[in-house]
């Protein structure tokens, strides 16, 4: 819903640029809105584009390589071809495989120069701003038109909690207005948030967020973020030092993408080996770590966001993967 809300505001903005009231007249009155992103775009953004009628297959993926890293020159060429047509750029802050960031400042500059809407998906990555060690990863975010994030990740509040910042409040009110005689109108000093978001009826998610921020404050969340950064750094170091592990991607944030790779094991069998380890992780119970594919290669991706996780817990992830990998190889 956070991504949906920001992208809905972007759709409204683009439609207004070509003289269409898309919520009133429908998509039939609207030319196709171009969407551009890197290969880091999250499935929730693609799903949101589908629900908004813009199409899951719409985005032009401007990738420099198989990892999804952005190709800015290619994106600029695509924007030039539009010849002034409004478009939506989706920037990604803390993509979910390895915690990498698009260069948001460059995207903000492109959006400004070519008249595009910039939406930043910061589900994990917006919290980089809590620490001086990672603030630079968000450079340029102030130039975005909408930014989304998840409270149920680093805020450690209950699941199903996202939020969106939108530069122009009026776009939310125009996109989601739903007034009726039996409902109160929204006023400047008494806004009706049911008219500014997709859901009319929803639980008070904001209460848990407020209480958590009140309890820990800026200093508390900086400590939580930096502890998680330390955990990820510890795992990355253990993997790089281990002869039977391989770091699949740099780990600049809170996620470490790696695989078990014992010496002499056939390259073509490594994916199957790591998938078997994943199945055993679920049954083993000592840790939980999910698997993924990075540039087509199967690996694990521990993502550290819980304030209770210690260095020993982080190290246990590597130990368990190794232990279970040795069991698989031994036929146990």
Does 3.30.70.20 match the CATH number of domain 2-203?
Answer: no
Tokens linked to 201 = 């009826």
Q: What percent of the chain has pLDDT over 90?
A: 86
C-alpha distance from residue 247 to each of 157, 169, 269, 288, 294 (Å):
31, 43, 17, 19, 11
To the nearest whole percent, how much of the chain has pLDDT over 70? 100
Q: Which of 6-15, 44-53, 169-178, 195-204 has the lowest mean pLDDT?
A: 195-204
pLDDT score for 6: 98
Q: Helix 311-330 and helix 205-241: axis angle, to 10°?
A: 60
Q: How far apart are CA 69 and CA 142, in angstroms?
A: 22
218-330 shares the fold of 2-203: no
Among the ranges given (22-36, 52-66, 82-96, 172-186), the one the predictor scored with the smallest mean pLDDT: 172-186
CATH number for region 218-330: 3.90.1150.170
Show the tokens assigned to 221. Answer: 């969340």
Q: Are 289 and 302 in contact (CB under 8 A)?
A: yes
- Beta-carbon contacts of 264 under 8 Å, excluding residues fewer than 6 positions away, are none
Q: Looking at residue 93, what is its pLDDT?
A: 97
Read off the pLDDT of each residue in 291-296 and give the average, rounded to a whole number: 93
pLDDT class of 268 with cuts at 50, 70, 90: very high
- Which residues does residue 228 pair with via DSSP β-bridges, in sequence order? none
Residue 306: pLDDT over 80: yes
Extract the tokens encoding 210.
Answer: 């407020």
**Whole-prediction pTM:** 0.94
Locate tokens 């953004």: which residue? 45
State both tokens at 73.
């020159």
What are the extents of the domains in the chain?
2-203, 218-330
pLDDT of residue 271: 97
pLDDT of residue 178: 87
Task: Report whether 328 contacts 271 (CB < 8 A).
Answer: no
Q: How far apart are CA 203 and CA 308, in angstroms?
A: 27
pLDDT digits (tens, 9 = 90+) for 93-127: 999 899 999 999 999 999 999 999 999 999 989 99
């Amino acid at each position: 819903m956070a991504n949906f809300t920001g992208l809905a505001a972007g759709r409204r903005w683009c439609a207004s640029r070509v003289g269409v009231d898309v919520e009133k007249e429908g998509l039939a009155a609207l030319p196709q809105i171009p969407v551009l992103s890197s290969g880091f775009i999250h499935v929730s953004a693609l799903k949101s584009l589908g629900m908004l009628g813009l199409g899951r297959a719409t985005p032009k993926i401007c990738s420099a390589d198989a990892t999804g890293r952005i190709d800015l020159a290619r994106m600029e060429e695509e924007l030039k071809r539009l010849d002034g047509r409004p478009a939506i750029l989706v920037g990604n802050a803390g993509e979910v495989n390895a915690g990498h960031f698009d260069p948001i400042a460059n995207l903000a500059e492109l959006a400004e120069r070519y008249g595009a809407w910039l939406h930043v998906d910061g589900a994990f990555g917006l919290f980089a701003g809590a620490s001086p060690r990672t603030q630079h990863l968000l450079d340029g975010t102030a130039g975005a038109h909408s930014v989304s994030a998840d409270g149920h990740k680093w805020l450690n509040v209950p699941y199903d909690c996202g939020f969106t910042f939108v530069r122009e409040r009026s776009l939310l009110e125009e996109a989601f207005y739903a007034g009726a005689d039996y409902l109160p109108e929204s006023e400047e000093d008494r806004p009706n948030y049911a008219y500014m978001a997709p859901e009319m009826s929803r639980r008070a998610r904001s209460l848990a967020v407020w209480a958590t921020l009140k309890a820990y404050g800026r200093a508390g969340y900086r400590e939580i973020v930096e502890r998680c950064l330390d955990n990820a750094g510890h795992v990355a170091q253990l993997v790089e030092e281990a002869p039977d592990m391989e770091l699949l991607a740099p780990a600049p944030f809170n996620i470490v993408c790696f695989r078990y790779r014992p010496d002499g094991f056939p390259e073509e069998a490594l994916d199957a080996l790591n998938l078997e380890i994943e199945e055993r992780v679920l049954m083993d119970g000592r840790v939980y770590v999910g698997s993924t594919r990075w540039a087509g290669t199967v690996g694990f991706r521990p993502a550290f966001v819980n304030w209770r996780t210690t260095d020993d817990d982080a190290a246990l992830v590597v130990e368990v993967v190794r232990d279970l990998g040795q069991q698989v190889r031994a036929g146990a």
